[in-house]
């Protein structure tokens, strides 16, 4: 549906009486994510990430805030 430009009004009756719910996600449904991961594995598609040890978490956060992170930063736990 996309992101609406204004607030959405939803009546409480259908939510309560019919046990409906309103949800949202910027990454898609679990089914969509499974399809995406299957496609990525089949075509050898991997994310672009920077890896830093957990001890450098503060540096990683600073890099993100400064816009210096290359795509994503992954913190490696020492276990």
DSSP-derived 3-state class of residue 37: helix
Output the pTM of the full model: 0.50
What is the C-alpha separation between 43 and 32, in angstroms, rounded?
17
Residue 22 exposed, middle or buried by CB count within 10 Å (0-12, 13-18, 19+): exposed
pLDDT in tens, the chain (79 residues): 567 788 888 888 888 888 888 777 778 888 988 999 999 999 999 999 999 999 999 999 999 999 999 889 999 998 8
DSSP-derived 3-state class of residue 53: strand
């Amino acid at each position: 549906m996309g992101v609406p430009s204004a607030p959405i009004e939803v009546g409480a009756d259908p939510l309560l009486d019919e046990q409906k719910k309103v949800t949202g996600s910027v990454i898609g449904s679990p089914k969509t994510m499974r399809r995406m991961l299957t496609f990525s594995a089949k075509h050898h598609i991997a994310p672009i990430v920077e890896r830093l040890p957990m001890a450098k978490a503060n540096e990683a956060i600073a890099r993100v805030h400064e816009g210096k992170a290359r795509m994503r930063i992954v913190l490696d736990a020492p276990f």
